[in-house]
């Protein structure tokens, strides 16, 4: 879910909090270092949510999150990203 694509009425930040709070996994793309993404990642970390970080292979991982693993992806090979992301999700989902 992306907040900028969410058409529900109401305050955007309330919806962001709700969605992060109720997510099993939070997937974050750090490419371009958008400030709102870091804010949302911080919320996810405070709530102790499982996160998966993504970043374009031509970008550098910002210092503040350098200690966290990130999947580097190539926009010319989105099939590889899909596979890596699927594997990462499977590894992090709680087992039943």
The CA-atom distances, in angstroms, between 80 and each of 9, 23, 76, 85, 87 are 36, 24, 9, 8, 11
CA distance 55 to 29: 6
pLDDT (tens, 9 = 90+) of the chain, 96 residues, equals 666 677 778 888 888 899 999 999 999 999 998 888 999 999 999 999 999 999 999 999 888 899 999 999 999 999 999 999 999 999 888 665
Enumerate the domain spans of the chain. 3-92
CATH 3.30.70.420, domain 3-92, yes or no: no
Helical residues (DSSP H) of 7-92, grouped into ranges = 12-22, 35-46, 78-92
Query: Contact, 62 vs 42, CB < 8 A?
Result: no
Count CB neighbours of 29 within 10 A.
Answer: 17
pTM above 0.95, yes or no: no
């Amino acid at each position: 879910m992306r907040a900028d694509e969410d058409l529900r009425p109401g305050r955007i930040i309330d919806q962001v909090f709700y969605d992060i709070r109720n997510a099993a996994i939070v997937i974050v793309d750090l490419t371009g270092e958008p400030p709102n993404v870091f804010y949302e990642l911080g919320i996810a970390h405070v709530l102790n949510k499982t996160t998966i970080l993504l970043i374009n292979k031509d970008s550098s991982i910002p210092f503040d999150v350098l200690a966290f693993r990130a999947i580097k992806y190539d926009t010319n090979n989105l099939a590889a990203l899909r596979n890596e992301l699927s594997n990462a999700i499977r590894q992090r989902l709680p087992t039943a």
